[in-house]
Structure 1
Amino acid sequence: MTALPTPDYAKNIRLIGHSDQGGRPDALQVMVHRGFAYVAHPWSQGFSIIDVRDPKNPGETVFVPAPPNTWTIHLQTHNDLLLVIHARDLFADAAFAVDEKVYYTKSVGETVGTAGGAKTARNWSAGMAIHDISKPAEPRQIGFFPVEGVGIHRIWYVGGRYAYVSALVDGYSDYIFMIVDLQDPTKPVEAGRWWIPGMHLAGGEQATWGEGRRYALHHSLVEGDTAYACWRDGGLTILDIADKSAPKLITHKNWSPPFGGGTHSPLPLPKRDLLVVADEAVLDHEEDGRKRTWIFDIKDKANPISIATLPTPAEADYTAKGGHFGPHNLHENRPGSFVSDTLIFATYQNAGVRVFDISNPFEPKETGALVPAAPERMVDKRGNRPRVIQSADLFVDANGIIYSTDYNAGLAIMEYEG
């Protein structure tokens, strides 16, 4: 067994395993399902399946390449289905490759010229692929949901008839909320859509939020007939989706300004009438301001009230470290995974993985942390990126084992000891 890389910092979390993902150490979203980790690559253009039935000794890796010029950076698993996004590889696009600020501060549809509504010639695949994974390491594509435009960014699917996606289709300034009917997974169809007014440029709408701000759905989480959706600089919407063909706005809340935007990841805790929301840090050295993870009281969904923020890691000068420092993703309490109403697992990019106890939601406390070692090599295709950890996503399995991805450093497998 190869020696594990020594973490830069650890508190109540122990590194127990590591995988270089078959020589493709870059990954964004991770799902662990039936003993296999499904990781989506941002730079290697495809996704991989890693045998983690023994998490201390990850086994064989199977790589599935993406179509040419296509991102497959997010995916979802449930029962025998694997859903994978297809979108234009934006970080390989000349408009975004030099300065990442362009991606985070301007509407993508306007930057790449799809917002006007005219059909565009595509040399990439746009939509969502549906795979049969009844044999976990042998995915077999059985269906595809196409969209006209840039493609799909992220999916929420935990079984049942519907998947919920963020989609950038021709005629819109950026990603909108869309519901996909999977009653027949070989022939998925759109069931409904919703967007913030001002995004449908081809429909004559005009943005009111000004330059340097990006209103775009990152993704939503759905609980019952309610969708909690994060819109980057557009803040949070809570939607009534009882009628899938006509989602209705319950409330729209935005704290940017005065705070820095980047609203990214929602986590409803329905038994406690709480909602956790992470704002993503998107620029180096906190150029976009200090980002927070917020706790809202949602007893009245029409009037969510912020009651606390999670503590910001402070045992080192992460602002000066390089790369992004601040929240990114949350473990999402998916069915079959580790589910808790009091423990929040999060990635903080150059500050690694964090665990917070919110038993008292007014006084959340950090109870665990692990900052993985710097990547051995850089595979990020963007120029001049620092060689530091950028913990991207995490998944906590039913046994409490944490699986965390990085843009360059492979899959870190950890055990929480708090």
Structure 2
Amino acid sequence: MSEGAVSAKGLRRIAWLDMPGGGQVYVDGGYAYIGHMEPPHGTSIVDVSDPRNPRIVARLDPPSSGSHTHKVRVAGDIMVTNVEQDQRHALRRAKRIPEIEAAYLAQHGRAISDVELAAAIKVKPGFLPRARASLTEPAYAEGGFRVWDIRDRSNPKLLTHQLTGGIGVHRFDLDARYAYISTEMEGYVGNILVIYDIADPAKPREVSRWHMPGQHVAAGEVPTWQGQQHRLHHTLRHGDQLFAAVWYAGCRILDVSDITRPKVVGEYRYHPPFPEPTHTFMRVPFQIGGRDIAVAVDEEHEHVAGQLHGGLWVFDVTDPAKIQPLSMWHLTELDNPYVKAGGRFGAHQFQEHMEDTCLYTTWFGGGLRVVDIADPTAPTEVAHWLAEPPPGQSSPQANDVDTDARGLVYVLDRNRGLEILERTA
């Protein structure tokens, strides 16, 4: 068995870097850029010019302990990192504490215990002091994104912290001219798309917004879904189109030939019956079998036993107005030692570019899965890497992946560690 893995096919480890777990790895020009999951860790820049000896050359802190900066993108000598409220989901649930306490007292004639309250808002009891403190704290005000000059990778210079709204920015896309930002904004329910012109990176300029009908409550729109179920996760640009993953609303294709007026030209919804939300939607940058192909991956979220885990989709998008699903690929629970070991098991993310027909897909407790879609109707696994749990963890949690021009594969664990792998077949 390959060193560092409990199961491997066609891949071997050439390096493992002990570092805090992360939400995104982006590789460009001999450097890997890492967005870490939790403060006090923010963004790391890693020199991978010698991939067998990766070396951290810069560490950047979040703006405060109340924010995390777990996503990162680079275009030339400009780096953009998100700023989002840390523990955002738990803190939102914490707003219900007074309501829960009052209802429990009325029903049972006694105060709710800490153990019961923690279970009601789906947190560990140790988080309750933080949850209660949040009820009297000022509203979160750091949400947005930061733009950095990284001409000296070892000494990034902050150019600006662009504020947006709500809990801030999640995942996003970036090119030399525009940042395609997924963020909450005042007056909207859930994340929407805000496109910024970064021709002057120190002064981002908003050029347009896009949202789904029902999100703009300040304009009188009324959501037809519960809570934040319909929201933008992020978009990826291909030509004059953006491919948008919109959580429990499925997928959208946006025409941005006029960057000031994004408009929907295609959509596909599959929730229900499929239980896990759409995380990423990406156009394959070449035709396969004479067809325009797009791929999507669902994120394993709050899995219910007996339902499907998050999986991988392949679509025919030759006619955006008539998106057609061609196939799905799922990973079986059979023979996997980490299904019940703690942490998530299903899919999460693939590399956000393709050089051939292989998708390098992180599968949380299922590790890295390399799926070939040369036949879009019959995706086939051609390689995999299931790592041993990082030190101190009960299971691996393969969270994000990127590949570089050398064909090397970078797998970031959600909890701890960056792996660098190479194909052996």
Query: TM-score band (shorter)?
Result: 0.7 to 0.9
* Residue 352 (structure 2) aligned to one of 320, 325, 332: 332
- After superposition, the Cα gap between the structure-2 partners of 1:169 and 1:362, relative to the gap in structure 1 and judged at 3 Å, is same
Q: Structure 1 residue 355 and structure 2 residue 338: aligned?
A: no
- After superposition, the Cα gap between the structure-2 partners of 1:285 and 1:10, relative to the gap in structure 1 and judged at 3 Å, is farther
**Pairs within 5 Å for 1:13-412:** 13-21=11-19, 25-45=20-40, 46-68=42-64, 69-91=66-88, 93-95=90-92, 121-159=138-176, 161-209=177-225, 211=226, 214-272=229-287, 273-283=292-302, 289-314=308-333, 316-317=335-336, 318-333=338-353, 339-377=354-392, 387-412=394-419
Mapped to 2, the partners of 1:57 and 1:30 lie a distance apart of: 17
Mapped to 1, the partners of 2:26 and 2:367 lie a distance apart of: 18
Mapped to 2, the partners of 1:279 and 1:102 lie a distance apart of: 22
- After superposition, the Cα gap between the structure-2 partners of 1:208 and 1:331, relative to the gap in structure 1 and judged at 3 Å, is same
SS in 2 for 1:413: strand
For these two proteins, the number of residue pairs brought into alignment is 382
Mapped to 2, the partners of 1:190 and 1:121 lie a distance apart of: 26
Mapped to 1, the partners of 2:178 and 2:327 lie a distance apart of: 33
Per-residue CA shift, 1:29-83, capped at 9, x if unaligned? Answer: 0112222211111123411112222111112342211111112111101210100
Pairwise CA RMSD: 2.4
> 1:294: Cα distance to partner?
0.5
Matching residue's letter, 1:291:
G
Per-residue CA shift, 1:195-220, capped at 9, x if unaligned? Answer: 111111222111112x3771111111
Mapped to 1, the partners of 2:120 and 2:400 lie a distance apart of: 19
Matching residue's letter, 2:48:
V
Contact 2:23 2:399 in 1 (8 A): yes
Contact 1:74 1:84 in 2 (8 A): yes
- After superposition, the Cα gap between the structure-2 partners of 1:254 and 1:83, relative to the gap in structure 1 and judged at 3 Å, is same
| Structure 2 residue aligned with 1:383 | none
- After superposition, the Cα gap between the structure-2 partners of 1:408 and 1:61, relative to the gap in structure 1 and judged at 3 Å, is farther
SS in 2 for 1:202: helix
Normalised by the size of structure 1, how large is the TM-score?
A: 0.85
Matching residue's letter, 1:394:
V
Contact 1:231 1:264 in 2 (8 A): yes
Mapped to 1, the partners of 2:314 and 2:325 lie a distance apart of: 6
Which segments of 5 or more consecutive residues in structure 1 lack a partner in the other structure?
104-110, 112-119, 334-338, 379-386
- After superposition, the Cα gap between the structure-2 partners of 1:91 and 1:375, relative to the gap in structure 1 and judged at 3 Å, is farther
Larger radius of gyration: 2
State the identity %: 32
Contact 1:87 1:124 in 2 (8 A): no
Mapped to 1, the partners of 2:120 and 2:398 lie a distance apart of: 17
Mapped to 1, the partners of 2:247 and 2:307 lie a distance apart of: 12
> 1:407: Cα distance to partner?
1.7
> 1:5: Cα distance to partner?
6.2
Moved over 6 A (4+): 99-103
Per-residue CA shift, 1:260-282, capped at 9, x if unaligned? Answer: 14100122114211000001111
SS in 1 for 2:60: strand
Contact 1:277 1:293 in 2 (8 A): yes
Mapped to 2, the partners of 1:270 and 1:304 lie a distance apart of: 17
Contact 1:311 1:364 in 2 (8 A): no
Mapped to 2, the partners of 1:123 and 1:281 lie a distance apart of: 27
Mapped to 1, the partners of 2:173 and 2:260 lie a distance apart of: 17
Matching residue's letter, 1:236:
C
Which segments of 5 or more consecutive residues in structure 2 lack a partner in the other structure?
95-117, 124-130, 132-136
| Structure 2 residue aligned with 1:12 | 10
Matching residue's letter, 2:147:
I
> 1:323: Cα distance to partner?
1.6
Mapped to 2, the partners of 1:102 and 1:173 lie a distance apart of: 22
Normalised by the size of structure 2, how large is the TM-score?
A: 0.84
